[in-house]
Structure 1
Amino acid sequence: MNDRIKAFSKSAIVPLLKVSENGPKQQYQFDIDCFEMKDYNYVNVLKDSDFSQLFDAVANISGPCLYYFTIESDHDADEIISRIQAYKNTPGAKSVPAIKKKFPRTKVLYVGKVKKALWGRLVQHLGYYKVSRTQGLQLFYWTQGTNVKLKMSVLEFEHEMADYMSVLETKLAKELQPIVGKHR
């Protein structure tokens, strides 16, 4: 077992060194205006929605990614948590990220990662994924009637970094201190 741990550690060094020297492969930013989000639970949100241009751009992101949502509107952490908590307590609510007992007063809403298919994770965060147990921000549900504006920042990495996204996510979350989500 000792030799396996040594071999794994040695193989991890190369991709991490590349990132330490070059940074992410690509960076993107997308604006998400939650005002009057429509119900796309019964249509193809990828093609037949106000978000089709966003999904066209996100579909081309193939590598593992770190991403985070920042609140661009004037909404503060207390209001955001209140709205998420109210939604979470409604019957039939879809699963939302963990709400911290002592949440930070920040504009960073959430930090996440994917090994591939960022577009699928975005569907979940918007609230249009059919499986209610799959955790996501569920923006469609708790932002209704508000003018919440978000920015989604994406850091794409080379495919060889897929197994190391959890480590980078934890470090980024500790630095950005998002309002929701567990990062240990």
Structure 2
Amino acid sequence: MSKSDMFEASGSTCSLSFIDDLNPSKDMWNLKARIIRKWMQMFRMELILLDEKGCKIQAGIKGPLISFFDSQLQEDSVVVLSRFGVGENLDPYKVVNHAYKINFYRCTTVRPVVGWEGVEYGFKLISHSLIDKGECQDLLTVVIWTYMEKLLKKGKGSTLNSKMWNV
């Protein structure tokens, strides 16, 4: 998708923005994104959205609007969001490394679309040597999966363990 890509909405043509373009200066954005994570947190629904450039942003939906949007927002689906707000991400524990967060309004629209030209899930594999060298400082969390060689050598099956570090 190029920045000049357009989509048809209610008889008019609107341009799409990328996540890096978003800022609090206006409330009426149009964004094509893949929903890579959805969860409930207290009286809010939270989402992680991914654009075709591979950038991620967190989105929040307040309690009264959850029932309106819940069925329209499914993990792994691709949607065009329109008429949402953007504010500072002041969460004490950020789940994505982005200064802003998307806020859904009553007037926010969600339109399912077909076609995706970006990365599927927003992660990339990083070699252990880069982590050891401290070259992953911009990552919030790194998860490393390792096979337990001793168990494999003893014939006890293939057990997969994970270790998590904040870098």
Q: Which range, TM-score by smaller chain?
A: under 0.3
Larger Rg, first or second structure (1 or 2): 2
TM-score, reference length from structure 1:
0.25
Q: Which has the higher helix share?
A: 1
Higher RCO by CA contacts (8 Å cutoff, separation 6 or greater): 1
